[in-house]
């Protein structure tokens, strides 16, 4: 049976597929709020039923938190293609502030906008709409051929938006069952809302909170100013010293082991035509502030950073209080790239703080977690097959891209299951995920479904 027939089936079934997505979106599966525990169970049950309707052996699995959904289905008899695992999450973010929504966040609907039809409601783009693109591709494949294109494991969690506390233990306990040849994740987007993309780099993270402690109590600045050391002054000096005049981070050994971008990847990124001036202009800025002699995409995808996320100390209320504070605090995060060890970066930061402490001051630290960068090895032929399949579906050719943020599940697949993850998504920059009026373009849903059918046909 030809791929054309499967794509035609997707086109014909788009209204029914949209209705199924809207039904799932109307379940308020907010994982972080205990008041919605029953609704998270309901969403898991909905997915189990839908998978079973596709001929998948599926069930809901209990965890200390919200349940996992796991399903398995074989491909054509005697097939020797790849065994893929598809991951998604059915939980969603809270809807606050609800008064900023144009309609009920859980009364999901299709709306006409100036840019075309969109699917509006919480979970539209993160991640129910994305998850359902894959299921609808599988449905069309089964409807046309009577079977799936390859052996598939389905793995859906219900705690992604609340830190995934049950995920790692569940993966460790069920590693043999979950292990496949490659993992597919649909929780990313199109580059600049138009170029299909496969994410191959994810930055890691180290987060630290530091408190500088000086005098026993706040002091009168008229009596002690100029005589006693001010913890805010110490903290400010330490934070200012994190970067040199060229934008490089000054921590000892910070850049050790970091590889340079390959010529092939650099050429791909240059070909994307990233409008950094517009990107900055949208948030009221105009001047690049990162490392000298680095192209903008390189700075946000494949170079590490050090950023101060919050700083406080002394009197910050209304009016004025002339005190010399007894302590000052800051939150600092480091985005990490390939070759960096979170523990070494944390140790280097604490050594940097210690080097800036005068005799009368001490420092306290509170770690907020750390994770390595995720690097997806594109030498697997599935990557080029998927890139070609995406290029066949969209007007612009697909590209390998980086991601400045962190998606921990991709790393977990490598560390726990020994699998490479391929991150492909169809979200757009204006989808307002996590915000009021979240949406998913009908084009993203439709062409995303067609894209997965092409990819499954190519790698299955």
205-258+304-371 CATH: 3.30.70.360
Global pTM value: 0.88
The set of long-range contacts for 74-77, using a CB threshold of 8 Å and a minimum separation of 24, is: 74/148, 74/151, 75/147, 75/148, 75/149, 75/150, 75/151, 75/152, 75/460, 76/145, 76/147, 76/148, 76/149, 76/150
Distance of alpha carbon 179 from alpha carbon 176, whole angstroms:
6
Structure tokens at 412: 């977990």
Q: Provide CATH 3.30.70.360 ranges for the chain.
A: 205-258+304-371
- Which is it for the CA torsion 225, 330, 432, 158, positive or negative? negative
Numbered ranges of CATH 3.40.630.10 in the chain: 3-202+373-459
Task: Supply the pLDDT for residue 164.
Answer: 94
Q: Please state, in angstroms and rounded to a whole number, the distance separating the CA atoms of residues 99 and 79.
A: 53
**All residues at 6 or more sequence positions from 312 whose CB lies less than 8 Å from its CB, including other chains:** 328, 329, 330
Nearest-10 crossing angle of helices 442-459, 381-393: 140
Per-residue pLDDT of the chain (460 residues; tens, 9 = 90+): 589 999 999 999 999 999 999 999 999 999 999 999 999 999 999 999 999 999 999 999 999 999 999 999 999 987 778 999 999 999 999 999 999 999 999 999 999 999 999 999 999 999 999 999 999 999 999 999 999 999 999 999 999 999 899 999 999 999 999 999 999 999 999 999 999 999 999 999 999 999 999 999 999 999 999 999 999 999 999 999 999 999 999 999 999 999 999 999 999 999 999 999 999 998 899 999 999 999 999 999 999 999 999 999 999 999 999 999 999 999 999 999 999 999 999 999 999 999 999 999 999 999 998 888 988 989 999 999 999 999 999 999 999 999 988 788 898 999 999 999 999 999 999 999 999 999 999 999 999 999 999 999 999 8
Asked if the bond preceding 49 is cis, omega within 30° of 0, the reply is no
Instruction: Tell me the CATH number for domain 3-202+373-459.
Output: 3.40.630.10
381, burial (CB in 10 Å: exposed 0-12, middle 13-18, buried 19+) = exposed
Contacts of residue 152, Cβ cutoff 8 Å, sequence gap at least 6 = 56, 72, 73, 75, 83, 84, 85, 86, 138
Report how far apart, in Å, the C-alpha atoms of 194 and of each of 23, 191, 344, 425, 429 are.
28, 6, 38, 12, 10
Rounded to 5°, angle at Cα 46 from 40 and 52 = 140
pLDDT at 258: 97
Q: What is the C-alpha to C-alpha distance for residues 208 and 95, in angstroms, rounded to an integer?
A: 29
């Amino acid at each position: 049976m030809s791929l054309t027939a499967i794509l035609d089936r997707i086109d014909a079934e788009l209204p029914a597929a949209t209705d199924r997505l809207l039904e799932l979106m109307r379940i308020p599966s907010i994982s972080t709020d205990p008041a919605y525990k029953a609704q998270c169970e309901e969403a898991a049950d909905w997915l189990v039923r839908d998978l079973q309707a596709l001929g998948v052996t599926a069930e809901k699995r209990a965890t200390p938190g919200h349940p996992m959904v796991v399903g398995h289905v074989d491909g054509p008899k005697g097939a020797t293609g790849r065994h893929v695992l598809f991951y998604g999450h059915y939980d969603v973010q809270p809807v606050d502030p609800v008064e900023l929504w144009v309609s009920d966040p859980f009364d999901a609907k299709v709306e006409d906008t100036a840019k075309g039809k969109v699917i509006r409601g919480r979970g539209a783009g993160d991640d129910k709409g994305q998850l359902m693109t894959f299921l609808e591709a599988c449905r069309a494949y089964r409807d046309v051929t009577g079977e799936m294109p390859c052996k598939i494991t389905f793995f859906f969690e219900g705690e992604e938006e609340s830190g995934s506390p049950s995920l790692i233990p569940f993966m460790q306990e069920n590693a043999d069952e979950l292990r496949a040849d490659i993992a597919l994740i649909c929780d990313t987007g199109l580059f600049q809302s138009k170029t299909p993309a496969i994410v191959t780099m994810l930055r890691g993270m180290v987060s630290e909170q530091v408190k500088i402690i000086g005098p026993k109590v706040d002091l009168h600045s008229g009596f002690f100013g100029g005589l006693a050391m001010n913890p805010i002054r110490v903290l400010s000096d330490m934070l200012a010293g994190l970067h040199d005049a060229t934008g490089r981070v000054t921590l000892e050994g910070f850049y050790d082991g970091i590889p340079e971008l390959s010529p092939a990847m650099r050429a791909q990124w240059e070909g994307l035509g990233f409008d950094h001036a517009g990107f900055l202009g949208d948030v009221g800025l105009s001047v690049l502030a990162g490392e000298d002699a680095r192209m903008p995409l390189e700075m946000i995808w494949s170079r590490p950073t050090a950023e101060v996320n919050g700083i406080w100390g002394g009197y910050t209320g209304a009016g004025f209080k002339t005190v010399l504070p007894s302590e000052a605090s800051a939150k600092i995060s480091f985005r990490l790239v390939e070759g960096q060890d979170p523990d070494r970066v944390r140790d280097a930061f604490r050594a940097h703080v210690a080097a800036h402490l005068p005799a009368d001051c001490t420092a306290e630290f509170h770690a907020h977690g750390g994770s390595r960068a995720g690097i997806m090895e594109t030498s697997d032929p599935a990557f080029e097959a998927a890139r070609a399949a995406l290029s066949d579906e969209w007007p612009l050719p697909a590209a390998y891209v980086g991601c400045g943020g962190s998606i921990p599940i991709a790393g977990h697949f490598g560390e726990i299951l020994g699998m490479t993850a391929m991150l492909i998504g169809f979200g757009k920059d204006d989808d307002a995920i996590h915000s009021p009026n979240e949406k998913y373009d009908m084009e993203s849903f439709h062409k995303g479904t067609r894209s997965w059918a092409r990819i499954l046909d190519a790698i299955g």
